[in-house]
Amino acid sequence: MLHIRDLRRIDAYLYEIPPSFRPDMRVPARFYADETLIENILGDRSLEQLVNTATLPGVVNHVLAMPDMHQGYGFPIGGVVATALPDGVISPGGVGYDINCGVRLLASQIDVEAIRPHLDDLATMLYANCPSGVGKGGPVKLAAGELDQVMEKGARWAIQRGFGSAADLERTEEEGCLSGADAEKVSARARDRGKGQIGTLGAGNHFIEVDAVDRVVDEAVARRIGLFAGQVVVQIHCGSRGLGHQVCTDYVSLFQKAVRKYGIDLPDRELVCAPLSSLEGGDYLAAMKAAANYAFANRQVLAHHIRRSFEQVLAGKLKHYHLFQIYDIAHNMAKVESHRVGERLVELCVHRKGATRAFGPGSDVLPPVYRDIGQPVLVPGSMGTASWVLVGTEGGMSQTFGSTCHGAGRTMSRHQAKRSVQGPALRRELEAGGIRVRAGSMAGLAEEAPAAYKDVDRVVDVVHGAGLARRVARLTPLAVIKG
Amino acid sequence: MTIRFEEVEHTADRALRIYGRDLADLFGNATAGINSLMLAVSPEDSGCVTKNIELEAVDAEGLLVAWLSELAFWAETESLLFNQIDFIELSPARLRAVVRGVPVQALDKHVKAVTFHNLAIDRRPEGLVVTVVFDV
């Protein structure tokens, strides 16, 4: 375990572990925290895991972790690691098993006071229409060969099937489809796991949440994005389901041989990797993109179910029940991007595992509607607390390859959470606070108790203070739907 | 009573420390362990569903991940839990086995993945020990 004496404090929110700490480090390791968050960080093995990522071949500048960091496996959750093309490596563990786990934010024109009488019915309808829970498949049936279309077209497939409109694509990272996906690189086993799960939420920390905009911090940007105080919005948090999990499993296994072939020595086998220029590296990237597109399609279908639920409950009772999309982001992904390294623009493979892309104003990959204000960043907090909408900044582009935090970050194991918190009691507590809860598993609810997570306001204070992303609006929950 | 496996704390996922006299015993206890993650009360019925499993890996650790991943796959896709194993062949890099198990109505949890994180089978005089981290 690292100690505070191993750290060099660079400024109010930035710490560094120099490469002299361990002989196999190729670059420094940096992380963002305040004096409270650092206590959690030093209490688990996340910094050791961050140091391990600094041994990857081709790694540039420094490896990074965000203030919501916590112990994962291989990479820490909250990790950002960039390797230089062509021979820098790509590591499936640097993306995670839930490829393109991410968040979508939909917004209405409804004020929170107008929706209160309908919240119970809305929560029930959302729970009924959005399949969730362990082992729950969805009603969307795929024709023979159609899963390939899902993997190669992503959210566009869903829109062609009638789930949403093209307007959603402009406000989705990568317009809901990564080019270069190759369904042929996805195994039969991954297809078996994913074919019945399209349009489903899953379980664990995935959720749908109806929120109110509790506070607007940046009025001008909020107005541009389409947010106002008291507004009713909806978050979706989920990913690529069993298909993505299996893609990662397949390639972590395959890369156990690849590291021997390419003479790569690693401190943790979960960090296995291959040069992006290699056959293995290219195959993984193509499969990862296919799984990422599945996740974009998944959130697109869920968004359709949510819109349908709003219509079923509110049509004839409230005007303006239609939901428009604010943005959709990924927080488990590897992308080839151009970034400044020293004086040069260099092509890098940027791994973000439990970290969100947060490109600043002027980035030409952003949709025209957001190009001058920066990319919206969606940061879900723990259930029952708060979430945040931020925008990317130039500061983030220069410090963290345009990356920021992804959520609140866990502090307590699932095992401990279930020992300390009773699901039914937690449910009563949330409902007493005005939050409707529809959850398939009380044990699962207990695992996701707010007490198991860091303070998201504090995490966001750090990224805002460090200049990685700017606060726009704070959301608080009205209804939580979970598996 | 000999401990077959025990849970160890992990912030976001689940981790089991698994014991075994030898590789076959270790794999058997790992099976019981992963089953306990997926269903709190393991079925006691003798297996009525049979599958033949054949796996290869670079080493024993890889084989263990492949084995547990196989079990997780059948649980997720066909709601099957296997609790009886006959090893036909088990070497550090290859196994063939016949497994018997039962369909279950509903699992408590799916194991999304079996990780290689810090995976190393420790060979002690009293037997084998390994800690496996599972993404749930």
pLDDT at A226: 98
Which candidate from B61, B76, B133 shows the least CB-CB separation from A73?
B133
Q: What is the mean pLDDT of residues A91-102?
A: 97
Domains contained in chain A, CATH given: 4-411+453-482 (3.90.1860.10)
pLDDT for position A393: 98
* Chain A residue with minimum CA distance to B61: A269
> What is the pLDDT at residue B1?
64
> Which residues, numbered 22 to 41 in chain A, qualify as contacts with chain B under a Cβ-Cβ cut-off of 8 Å?
none
Paired with B19 in beta bridges are: B129
Predicted confidence (pLDDT) per residue in A221-261, tens digit: 999 999 999 999 999 999 999 999 999 999 999 999 999 99
Runs of H (alpha helix) within A119-218 = 119-129, 146-153, 155-160, 166-170, 188-194
Both tokens assigned to A251: 């390639």
Give the pLDDT confidence score for residue B45 in this predicted structure: 67
Residue B85 distance to chain A (closest CA, Å)? 22
pLDDT at A454: 81
Residue B88: give the domain boundaries.
5-135
Considering only CA atoms, which of A254, A188, A247 is closest in space to residue B113? A247
Q: Is the pLDDT of residue B44 over 70?
A: no
Q: What is the pLDDT of residue A311?
A: 98
pLDDT in tens, A150-183: 999 999 999 999 999 999 999 999 999 999 999 9
Place of tokens 């929170």: A112
Average pLDDT over residues A429-451: 87
Biggest distance spanned by C-alpha atoms of chain A: 68
CB contact under 8 A, A97 and B113: yes
**Chain A: closest CA distance from residue B116 (Å):** 5
Is A253 part of the contact surface with chain B (CB cutoff 8 Å)? Answer: yes
Q: Is the peptide bond before A86 cis (omega within 30 degrees of 0)?
A: yes
Phi and psi for A144 in degrees, rounded to 5? -60, 130
Which secondary structure element, helix H or strand E, spans residue A417, and what is its range?
helix A414-420
Number of DSSP helices (H) and strands (E) in chain B, helices first: 2, 8
State the catalytic residues of A.
406
- The pLDDT value given to residue A205: 87
Instruction: Please compute Rg for chain A using Cα positions.
Output: 21
A257 touches chain B (CB under 8 A): yes
Predicted pLDDT at A272: 97
Lookup: tokens for A210: 């109806």
CA angle A395, A399, A403 (to 5 degrees): 85
The residues with which A69 forms a beta bridge, in sequence order, are: none
Least confident of A283-292, A336-345, B11-20, B57-66: B11-20
Tokens of A347: 């092509």
Q: What is the mean pLDDT of residues A192-214?
A: 94
How would you classify the pairing of strands B5-8 and A469-482?
A: unpaired
pLDDT at res. A383: 79
Is 80 exceeded by the pLDDT of residue B12? no
* Beta strands B113-114 and B127-135, pairing class: antiparallel
The pLDDT of residue B46: 62
Q: Cβ contacts (< 8 Å) between B67 and chain A: which residues? A: none
Question: What distance in Å separates residue B112's CA from the closest CA in chain A?
Answer: 6
Q: CA nearest B118 in A: which residue?
A: A268
A contacts of B13 (beta carbons < 8 Å) = 72-73, 414
Residue of B nearest to A440 (CA): B108
- Average pLDDT along chain A: 95
Most confidently modeled range among A289-303, A437-451, B8-22: A289-303
The answer to whether residue B41 scores a pLDDT higher than 80 is no
**To 5 degrees, how large is the angle CA A62–CA A63–CA A67?**
120
Chain A residue with Cα closest to B80? A135
**What does each C-alpha distance from A275 to A262, A280, A286, A296, A333 come to in angstroms?**
8, 8, 14, 27, 17
Query: For residue A228, how many other CB atoms are within 10 A of its CB?
Result: 15
pLDDT at residue A420, as a whole number: 82
Predicted pLDDT at A48: 97
- The total number of structural domains in chain B stands at 1
Distance CA A251, CA A305 (A): 33
Axis-axis angle for helices B23-38, B60-78 (nearest 10): 30
Q: Which residues of B touch A441 (CB under 8 A)?
A: 108
| Six token digits for residue A266 | 């690693």
Closest CA to A123 of A312, A253, A261: A312
pLDDT, position B47: 66
Residue B38 maps to which CATH number? 3.55.10.10
Q: CA-to-CA distance for A41 and A17, rounded, in angstroms?
A: 13
Q: Coil, helix or strand for A241?
A: helix
In this complex, do A413 and B76 lie within 8 Å of one another by their Cβ atoms?
no
Here the tokens at position A344 are 């040069």
What does the pLDDT look like over A344-403, one tens digit per residue? 999 999 999 999 999 999 999 999 999 999 999 999 998 789 999 999 999 999 999 999
Q: Which residues contact B23 (CB under 8 A, 6 or more apart)?
A: B60, B90, B92, B128
Q: Answer whether A260 touches B (CB < 8 Å).
A: yes
CA distance A403 to chain B (A): 22
- Residue B122 to residue A460: CA distance in whole angstroms: 42
Report yes or no for ipTM above 0.90.
yes
What pLDDT is attached to residue B76? Answer: 93
Confirm if A382 and A409 have CB atoms less than 8 A apart: no
Of B9, B12, B112, the CB nearest to A72: B12
